[in-house]
Amino acid sequence: MLNLNRRAKTLETATFGMGCFWGPESQFGQYPGVIRTRTGFTGGTTAEPTYRTIGDHTETIQIDFDASLLSYEDILRIYWNSHDAVKDRKFKGRQYLSLLIVHSLNQQETADLIKNEWEKRNGKSIGTEIQYDRPFYPAENRHHKYFLKRFPKAMESILPLFFDHKNFTDSTIAARLNGFVRENGRLTDIKDEISDWQLTDEEEHVLRSMLQKIRW
């Protein structure tokens, strides 16, 4: 199979919750430094959580990003400016918590720095729960790229490019288009960005042909 993902110089992972995971996955899928997005559950102790048996876990998104294009500091600023982290979100238990999972001591230090920066600027205390390197459980297929899947004609053009659903879910182009359909980014920006993905000529041709033929 062809590799239709943007190549990354410095690949890192960020995991966070900010309410229902459909919207945040669409929002973060638009940024050029983001390589892939996925929805899931983390932060709790319930074994093998699902959407219906989430237990004490939280709906989260996990993104892999190229830190040479989009820094962890950038991601955290977007994160804390995109939801109300001061508000008590326990109306449905822990499902919609403001939750940040850090994956290294460097991420922990950066989170403390950006959190303090935000609190000083806004004069409020962030209530985000911060945990260290917890297991991430992917959500069921229907919760990945939720908004893109609401366009069946477009999906008919996209899915044949991929070996299976996971391959589709983890693709950069699916992340971008899932953002586009929610007005997070423009189709022309995606077409322009593909030139910087370091794809082979064949891979780039396949993507551009699909974007040319896709129907919404």
Q: Are 25 and 37 in contact (CB under 8 A)?
A: yes
Catalytic residues: 20
Kindly give the interhelix angle for 72-81 and 105-122, rounded to the nearest 10 degrees. 40
Q: Please give the full DSSP string across 125-186, using - where no structure is assigned.
A: ----EEEES---EEPPGGGTTTTGGG-HHHHHHHGGGSSSHHHHHT-HHHHHHHHHTTTSS-
DSSP-based three-state secondary structure for 39: strand
